[in-house]
Amino acid sequence: MRYLALDVAAIEKVAREEEVGMLVIGLPLTLAGDEGHQAERVRRFAEAARALGLPVELYDERHTSHEARLRGAKDLDAGAATVLLEDFLAQRTR
């Protein structure tokens, strides 16, 4: 729980500095679309992040790493985050 509080505090600092209006958090589902242990951890983090007063959206992150690899991302995590956010924003405009 202590690390969760530190993580949320770090997110709060960045969110304030960058004038973030929403948190979009990748939800790691299995290929079948089920939630496992990691998804439970992400849900706990998202719930804690709600204390920041920002809207929090969980978004299915399946296949984002694969897509980032196909795009030639040098940093796979950053590439997957880019894919996730692009897909999230595209879904909102439909």
Task: Write down all domains in the chain, each with its CATH number in brackets.
Answer: 2-93 (3.30.420.140)
Element (H, E) at 23: strand 23-27
Convert the pLDDT of each residue in 24-78 to its tens digit. 999 999 999 999 999 999 999 999 999 999 999 999 999 999 999 999 999 999 9
pLDDT tens digits for range 21-32: 999 999 999 999
pTM of the complete model beyond 0.85: yes
Residue 28 phi/psi, 5° resolution? -80, 100
User: Across the chain, how many H-helices and E-strands are there?
Assistant: 4, 2
Phi, psi at 50, each rounded to 5°: -60, -25
